[in-house]
Structure 1
């Protein structure tokens, strides 16, 4: 018994079980009244059968009063569990002192009260000490009753005793064991109910946390998808629209002086528009596709198509060159697309902002690195301009970071602007050997 009571403090926690709901309080009232009615019926049956504990039973009104005092408090047992348990235990001992004959139902009421303290006591320290105090009082009363009974026992009190133990010792051990089992069961079941409620609370908290994390993950996924779509739209549209703008401006300038050149520029504008529409259509089809890889690249957007970007820049009036150095290696599609988009954005920025006359694109294949270098002879970045604040530069940095690479972008000391991206390459076993 002591081990069970002492074990109640093994799992200290700041959690408090919520009080009973309105429906539970109504159920308690119904149960309390029903138990009181059953106790009154049992009292009538016990007295009618002549079952009395002691030689001087109290009057019938007093018997009814003690029975109600022990059972009716169950009507509020979950609202004030410790107070109800103390009242019932005190009334129980007092009823036994007065030799009240009803003890079957009242024993059940006492067990229910001790259980409720363990299952519903919000203050765990109070619940623990209330049960310890009640059980200690009950065993003290048991000891007093055993002492009084032993003192009044006649010599022939156990005429039919035939066991190996002394009859009085056997009776004492039997009473102590039965009470220990009675109170131990009430304590154990109450503590188990409280632990079960606490675990249910923890499961609900964890479920809510999982729902919150899932919602956050969904929001991040949506945001990431929006950023990816915005980056793709910027890369696909901005380049071709910029080329179209430059070519349209050139057409306007030479339309009257050189109609043949104007027609050539207009044809280039038309081709750029068709290319932009085709790339937009491919990208939208990819976004609509189910299960498509986010980095799946449409045709015409890899390092093997950089010559088309250079040709577009040349058609827009720039002196554009492309140089590939080192032994070309097969690249992952996502890396090839990232390199293409970086060159595309650099060419677009040169056309829109640099007022340049020449642009040079270099692709270098090193042993463990792919280097993309784009330079122009334009005016460079304005003095005091923050580096990497434009949407294009932000998109380039995101693409490079996604492949664990590095990006440098800024004005050159001799004039013009440079964009340089370095991507690490996975080495083959033969190279590593």
Structure 2
């Protein structure tokens, strides 16, 4: 039968946990039923043997009838219990020691019926006193603790005293000591059962907490990955399409100013640059949508950097800005993995864009030095920056540049006033063994 609904009950984990402790509890439950059936059968055989299997002797028929009745009542209870546990397992609930599916009142009535029939059998034959062992376990398992202890003691009294009243000729002190030892042993087994149940409950809770922690960690990593990818995409858009569109806007404004002054030749040249820049930005946008990369990154590193310099020079010429860019790449570019090459291209691209937006420099020198274990990027100009740009928390472009370098375990620094308190220098160092080089 299902166990008692009180604070001393034990809770078992779901049947599919695969826990060794859970299998032990199942084995104990099955062993209890097998023990009851075995002791009932042995007691019946002993009682009939004492009467030489003669149904003419008084009480023989009663023994058979009450034995069959006890077996039937017990079988109904165990079948009820199994169906209750199976129903809970299908619902995914824990197999607890509460009478969630079987009302407590019916469980108590069942146990009372079993006990009454057992008392009747003990009165008919002392052979049935040994059923006290499984009955004691049932008392402890189903009834509240205080009531169950009293029931065990009462059962012991029935097993020890009732045979002395009904069969004094065959009664001895062993009929008191034997059931007493059985009762104590049953009580010890029950508390062991409870300890195992608590252990199972503890491990089930730990397993559940671990699964919850793993799910939370996986969700956190997934969320962090989404945020990191979103930030990366924002930097890519800023360093490609946004910069190209910014150049087009500046060139268009310059063309409008030239038209106002009637300088059509300069406007024609600026429109050509706008067309080329627009075509380049369109190509970048298409390539970005297709595989989130820039056309520059499909070229060898030196050529990609040269194309950035050529575009910047062409744009400044169209805008009438007298500025020269010098590029120097030293070392073997084949040693540079793709993520580092991407960072170098974007860093130089953003540095030149910031020179154009914020500096009045007439000269800029870009140096990329490739060594065995690291790459050094230096961008220096002879201009001065806006006052706001001196703020270390300036703009999305330089912040994105710094983050790109840091993501590759590199270092990023900006120095102001390197020469005569006017020039600006950007210095970056990227190890070639960065965590992004795979």
Pairwise same-fold verdict (TM > 0.5): yes
1:213 maps onto 2:256 in alignment = no
Could you say which residue in structure 2 is the equivalent of 1:306? 305
Asked if structure 2 preserves the Cα contact closer than 8 Å seen for 1:282 and 1:298, the reply is no
Asked if structure 2 preserves the Cα contact closer than 8 Å seen for 1:355 and 1:378, the reply is yes
Once residues 389 and 113 of structure 1 are traced to their aligned partners in structure 2, the CA distance between those partners, rounded to angstroms, is 78
Distance 1:228 1:273, change over 3 A: same
Distance 1:241 1:27, change over 3 A: same
Shift of 1:197: 2.3
Asked if structure 2 preserves the Cα contact closer than 8 Å seen for 1:235 and 1:344, the reply is yes
Could you say which residue in structure 1 is the equivalent of 2:368? 363
1:397 maps onto 2:423 in alignment = no
For residues 267-308 of structure 1, the C-alpha deviation after alignment (integer angstroms, 9 at most, x for no partner) is 111111121121122222225xxxxxx999852584431111
Asked if structure 2 preserves the Cα contact closer than 8 Å seen for 1:307 and 1:322, the reply is no
Once residues 111 and 295 of structure 1 are traced to their aligned partners in structure 2, the CA distance between those partners, rounded to angstroms, is 77
Q: Secondary structure at the match of 1:370?
A: strand
In structure 1, stretches of 5+ residues that fail to align are 1-17, 54-101, 122-126, 159-166, 288-293, 428-433
* 1:331-370 → structure 2 map (5 Å cutoff): 331-370=336-375
1:425 maps onto 2:424 in alignment = no
Shift of 1:367: 5.0
- TM-score by length of structure 1 reads 0.63
Shift of 1:260: 2.6
Q: 2:110 aligns with which of 16, 20, 34?
A: 34
Once residues 176 and 104 of structure 1 are traced to their aligned partners in structure 2, the CA distance between those partners, rounded to angstroms, is 10
Q: 1:275 aligns with which of 280, 292, 307?
A: 280
Distance 1:46 1:134, change over 3 A: closer
1:179 maps onto 2:183 in alignment = yes
Once residues 244 and 237 of structure 1 are traced to their aligned partners in structure 2, the CA distance between those partners, rounded to angstroms, is 11
1:111 maps onto 2:111 in alignment = no
Once residues 135 and 282 of structure 2 are traced to their aligned partners in structure 1, the CA distance between those partners, rounded to angstroms, is 83
Could you say which residue in structure 2 is the equivalent of 1:284? 289
The alignment yields a C-alpha RMSD, in angstroms, of 4.5
Once residues 254 and 348 of structure 1 are traced to their aligned partners in structure 2, the CA distance between those partners, rounded to angstroms, is 23
Once residues 388 and 348 of structure 2 are traced to their aligned partners in structure 1, the CA distance between those partners, rounded to angstroms, is 24
Shift of 1:344: 0.6
Once residues 366 and 257 of structure 1 are traced to their aligned partners in structure 2, the CA distance between those partners, rounded to angstroms, is 52
Could you say which residue in structure 2 is the equivalent of 1:188? 192
Shift of 1:323: 2.8
For residues 96-115 of structure 1, the C-alpha deviation after alignment (integer angstroms, 9 at most, x for no partner) is xxxxxx97887655423434
Once residues 294 and 149 of structure 2 are traced to their aligned partners in structure 1, the CA distance between those partners, rounded to angstroms, is 71
Asked if structure 2 preserves the Cα contact closer than 8 Å seen for 1:350 and 1:356, the reply is yes
Asked if structure 2 preserves the Cα contact closer than 8 Å seen for 1:361 and 1:373, the reply is yes
Asked if structure 1 preserves the Cα contact closer than 8 Å seen for 2:133 and 2:186, the reply is no
Higher-RCO chain (CA-CA 8 Å, sequence separation at least 6): 2
Asked if structure 2 preserves the Cα contact closer than 8 Å seen for 1:283 and 1:298, the reply is no
Could you say which residue in structure 2 is the equivalent of 1:246? 250
Distance 1:298 1:21, change over 3 A: farther
Distance 1:326 1:307, change over 3 A: closer
Asked if structure 1 preserves the Cα contact closer than 8 Å seen for 2:129 and 2:179, the reply is no
* 1:84-123 → structure 2 map (5 Å cutoff): 108=134, 110-115=136-141
1:51 maps onto 2:124 in alignment = yes
Asked if structure 1 preserves the Cα contact closer than 8 Å seen for 2:133 and 2:182, the reply is no
* 1:149-168 → structure 2 map (5 Å cutoff): none
Shift of 1:326: 3.2
Asked if structure 2 preserves the Cα contact closer than 8 Å seen for 1:146 and 1:172, the reply is yes
Count of matched residue positions in the alignment of Structure 1 and Structure 2: 330
Shift of 1:342: 0.4
1:329 maps onto 2:368 in alignment = no
In structure 2, stretches of 5+ residues that fail to align are 1-93
Distance 1:226 1:29, change over 3 A: farther
Q: 1:262 aligns with which of 250, 263, 267?
A: 267
Once residues 237 and 301 of structure 2 are traced to their aligned partners in structure 1, the CA distance between those partners, rounded to angstroms, is 17
Shift of 1:208: 1.6
Q: Secondary structure at the match of 1:421?
A: strand
Q: Secondary structure at the match of 1:225?
A: helix
